[in-house]
């Protein structure tokens, strides 16, 4: 049996989306060309833009296509910073590397960075955020749902906390993991900029979008033609965009059905491991995490070894930990949550998707206890703790 439980990393392309991409590939015109070939390609891009706008609850003119979530994040933050002389920027301690490393680099470039902490469940400390806001703050970038733990952040509250004191501050959210997995509309969140990516929602890799609220000005990061309202030059990835449009529509229309199924599987899985494996920590409050994500620390084992052994049973999972072997450095997300560095080393992210079945979770629950038991038998840490 092969079981794919790494959907936060990427997802399989659905058959409908595959067909949409293949048929768009037959339309080879350049969407910027004025002749019929170009018009046909332009129509495909605009249809997808409308689908994404509808899925996000915004105007189609507010969507800019990009080359993925990482690019959308960079375009949002750096693109806005090019328009202002303000030098203070705020983010959280639990961002995906697309934002986390960008802020590290911006710090080296001379920006003053505030990194807001989270509680033990990985939820942003809004009071701490308020303390850091100032007249000099240019932008606040906080993710909507965390990729390692699935913890959902209170972005609407962030926006009202920020804007009620400093209406000039721009708020960006990285919604790459949240899109299609939790219900939200950009207007309800109130954000100025929001990033999404196709390959997390059963769409193709290398395509993303940035929502830019009407009236918010950002500048391009690479120079080129006038594509995407001068904000993202370069001929559009027509087939990828077509696939993204359909994937967005399908993920949002199927959200209740998918989440209903995923929630049942999540409860079953957490109950199952709690009954069959001792010394574990479920990271994050399952009530406040995405329906598809369960992050677990298994004491006295190494995450990488768990991945390898589960892989031998055909089960694909990933480690939330960024540790290199031999190092006790836990993932920055678990560290920010105050997790014990040793047990964080054995943390595993199980991320389900719309094709995950109950049989697959049963298979995982059958194999996982013996994998952990075997690894613990070999672990010097386990022996020391006895
Ligand atoms: C929260 C988050 N932001 C950004 C990204 C990057 O997206 P992409 O792979 O499309 O560049 C990811 C992908 O893992 C993610 O989980």
Residue 323's pLDDT is 45
Confidence of residue 109 (pLDDT cuts 50, 70, 90): very high
- The residue whose C-alpha atom lies closest to atom 13 belonging to ligand 1 is 9
Q: Is the pLDDT of residue 42 over 70?
A: yes
Q: Which of 116-130, 134-148, 342-356 has the lowest mean pLDDT?
A: 342-356
Q: 143 CB under 6 A from ligand 1? A: yes
The CA distance from 301 to 68, in Å, is 34
Residue 325's pLDDT is 45
Which ranges of the chain does DSSP label H, i.e. alpha helix?
15-25, 36-56, 69-81, 97-108, 126-132, 155-165, 186-189, 238-253, 255-276, 303-312, 332-336, 341-344, 358-378, 380-385
Residue 320's pLDDT is 66
Strand partners, 347: 297
Confidence of residue 343 (pLDDT cuts 50, 70, 90): confident
Centroid of ligand 1 to alpha carbon of 322 (angstroms): 15
Centroid of ligand 1 to alpha carbon of 74 (angstroms): 11
Mean pLDDT over 361-378 rounds to: 97
Residue 383's pLDDT is 73
In order of start, what are the domains of the chain with their CATH numbers? 15-253 (3.40.640.10), 255-385 (3.90.1150.10)
Locus of tokens 């719309």: 354
* Contact present, 283 and 297 (Cβ < 8 Å): yes
Catalytic positions, please? 323
Give, for ligand 1, the residue of 10, 66, 68, 70 to mutate: max count of ligand atoms closer than 8 Å to Cβ. Answer: 70
Query: Is the whole model's pTM more than 0.95, yes or no?
Result: yes
The 10s digit of each residue's pLDDT in 149-195 is 999 999 999 999 999 999 999 999 999 999 999 999 999 999 999 99
Mean pLDDT over 23-35 rounds to: 98
93, two tokens: 């301690």
Residue 324's pLDDT is 45
Q: Is the pLDDT of residue 344 over 90?
A: no
Neighbours of 274 (CB within 10 A): 12
* Contact present, 150 and 290 (Cβ < 8 Å): yes
C-alpha torsion angle, residues 125, 136, 170, 66 (rounded to 10): -100
Mean pLDDT over 307-317 rounds to: 97
Q: 146 CB under 6 A from ligand 1? A: no
The 10s digit of each residue's pLDDT in 225-243 is 999 999 999 999 999 999 9
Residue 327's pLDDT is 52
The CA distance from 370 to 57, in Å, is 46
Locus of tokens 């929502």: 211
Mean pLDDT over 208-237 rounds to: 97
User: 93: closest CA among 57, 132, 60, 47?
Assistant: 132
Ligand 1 atom closest to Cα of residue 98: 4
Burial zone of 325 (CB within 10 Å; 0-12 exposed, 13-18 middle, 19+ buried): exposed
Centroid of ligand 1 to alpha carbon of 92 (angstroms): 16
The 10s digit of each residue's pLDDT in 242-275 is 999 999 999 999 999 999 999 999 999 999 999 9
User: 190: closest CA among 214, 177, 164, 171?
Assistant: 171
- The residue whose C-alpha atom lies closest to atom 4 belonging to ligand 1 is 69
Residue 329's pLDDT is 66
- Lay out the sheet containing 280-283: strands in order across: 280-283, 293-298, 347-351, 318-319
Q: Which residues of 5-39 are buried (b: 16+ CB within 10 A; e: fewer)?
A: bbbbebbebbeebbebbeebeebebebeeeeeeee
User: 30: closest CA among 45, 41, 22?
Assistant: 41
Centroid of ligand 1 to alpha carbon of 381 (angstroms): 34
Q: Is the pLDDT of residue 377 over 50?
A: yes
Mean pLDDT over 315-331 rounds to: 69
């Amino acid at each position: 049996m092969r079981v794919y439980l790494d959907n936060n990393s990427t997802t399989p392309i659905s058959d409908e989306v595959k067909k949409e991409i293949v048929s768009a590939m037959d339309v080879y015109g350049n969407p910027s060309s004025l002749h019929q070939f170009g018009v046909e390609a332009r129509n495909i891009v605009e249809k997808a833009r409308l689908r994404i706008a509808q899925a996000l609850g915004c105007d189609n003119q507010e969507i800019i296509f990009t080359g993925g979530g990482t690019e959308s994040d960079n375009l949002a933050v750096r693109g806005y910073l090019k328009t202002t002389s303000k030098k203070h920027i705020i983010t959280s301690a639990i961002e995906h590397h697309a934002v986390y490393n960008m802020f590290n680099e911006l710090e080296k470039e001379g920006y003053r960075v505030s990194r807001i902490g989270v509680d033990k469940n990985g939820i942003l400390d809004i009071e701490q955020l308020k303390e850091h806001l100032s007249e000099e703050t240019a932008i606040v970038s906080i993710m909507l749902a965390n990729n390692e733990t699935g913890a959902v952040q209170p972005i609407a509250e962030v926006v009202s906390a920020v804007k009620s004191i400093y209406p000039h501050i721009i708020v960006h959210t990285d919604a790459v993991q949240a899109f299609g997995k939790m219900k939200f509309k950009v207007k309800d969140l109130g954000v100025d900029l929001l990033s999404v990516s196709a390959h997390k929602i059963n769409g193709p890799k290398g395509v993303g979008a940035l929502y830019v609220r009407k009236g918010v000005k950002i500048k391009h990061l690479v120079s080129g033609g006038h594509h995407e309202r001068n904000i993202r030059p370069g001929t559009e990835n027509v087939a990828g965009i077509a696939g993204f449009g359909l994937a967005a529509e399908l993920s949002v229309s199927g959200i209740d059905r998918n989440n209903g199924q995923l929630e049942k599987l999540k409860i079953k899985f957490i109950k199952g491991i709690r009954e069959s494996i001792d010394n574990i920590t479920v990271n994050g409050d399952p009530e406040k995490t995405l329906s598809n994500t369960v992050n677990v620390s298994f004491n006295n084992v190494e995450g990488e070894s768990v991945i390898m052994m589960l892989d031998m049973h055909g089960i694909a999972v990933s480690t939330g930990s960024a540790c290199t072997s031999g190092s006790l450095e836990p993932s920055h997300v678990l560290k920010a949550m105050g997790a014990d560095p040793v047990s964080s080393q054995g943390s595993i992210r199980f991320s389900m998707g719309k094709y995950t079945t109950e049989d697959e979770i049963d298979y995982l629950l059958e194999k996982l206890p013996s994998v952990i038991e075997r690894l613990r038998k070999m672990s010097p840490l386990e022996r020391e703790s006895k």
